[in-house]
Amino acid sequence: MDAGRASPGFRAEEAGGLAYYAPGFAGGGGVRAAFSNRRGGWSRGPYSTLNLGLHVGDDPQAVLSNRASFCAALGLNHRDLVACAQVHGTAIAVVGPGDRGRGAFDPGGAVPGVDGLATDVPGVPLATFYGDCVPLFFFDPVRPAVALVHAGWRGTLGRIAARAVSLMREHFGASPERMLVGIGPSIGACCYTVGPEVAGMFAQQFGTAAEVRPHPGDGEGGRLDLALLNRRILEAAGVRSEQIDTAPWCTSCHPEEFFSHRASRGITGRMAAVMALE
């Protein structure tokens, strides 16, 4: 784990009978931020049990019950969640009170065409969904504003994390130097092998650093450390290293705690990242 020194780091927590994970800055007041664990819900089969994704073939009633209990544990209302389409792009939308509930009951109603959401309005809970990709939580405590971003390999290659920093500066007057960022649980370099084409694109963009490892037995491909790549992108965008928390858990290594697209070979549930200004 490459966690910052001055940061208390990601921690596992429990509320309302549910386990979840929170970046260190979420304990300081002003903001709620959490990443779900798969245990404690009503879904069955490959979605067992706290599946929060409505778009993966699970029973919608079970998913909505799961969302209700996860949000209640965080002191939020699942009816207010603002979701986005998550198209593996690099666009981020600024949302406000009028967007409350978009995608809360119907994935078709989610904010289209974007992989991240940002707001400076308290009580507008942002939600993004994961089955191995990297959740990024952004918080400016001085001029309170938040952003929540989904970064898979395409989003990482497109530097969506840096786009979130720029967007928060432009729209909310946020400063990268005081920004706090959480990098949530995602697939680790232990499990994330990619083919030669993807490995080549990363090597071209980021060089052959430790974040893009050739690995014996992976043939022409390699292993990507998406969390570390996003940390490097954030640091290059001006976020202080000690203000970035990286969660230490690989989603593919811990099937009892996390849904993993890679580990399940496709059919599985989704965890949610949820974030709201208080």
List residues near Zn ion by CB under 5 A.
188, 190-191, 250, 252-253
CA atoms within 13 Å, Cβ hemisphere of 37: 19
- Which phi and psi angles does 13 have, rounded to 5°? -130, 175
Residue among 29 and 216 whose Cβ is closer to Zn ion: 216
Residue 244's DSSP bridge partners are: 181
Residue among 103 and 222 whose Cβ is closer to Zn ion: 222
> For the chain, percent helix, then strand, then coil, each to nearest 5?
30, 25, 45
Residue among 3 and 145 whose Cβ is closer to Zn ion: 3
Short-list 176, 65, 76, CA closest to 126: 76
Q: What interhelical angle do 196-206 and 226-236 show, nearest 10?
A: 20
Least CB distance to Zn ion at residue 255 (A): 10
Least CB distance to Zn ion at residue 258 (A): 10
Residue among 2 and 14 whose Cβ is closer to Zn ion: 2
Least CB distance to Zn ion at residue 270 (A): 18
Least CB distance to Zn ion at residue 189 (A): 8
Residue facing Zn ion at closest CB distance: 250
Short-list 234, 194, 237, CA closest to 213: 194
How far from the centroid of its chain's Cα atoms is residue 124's Cα?
Answer: 17
Least CB distance to Zn ion at residue 233 (A): 21
- Distance, CA of 153 to CA of 194 (rounded, Å): 10
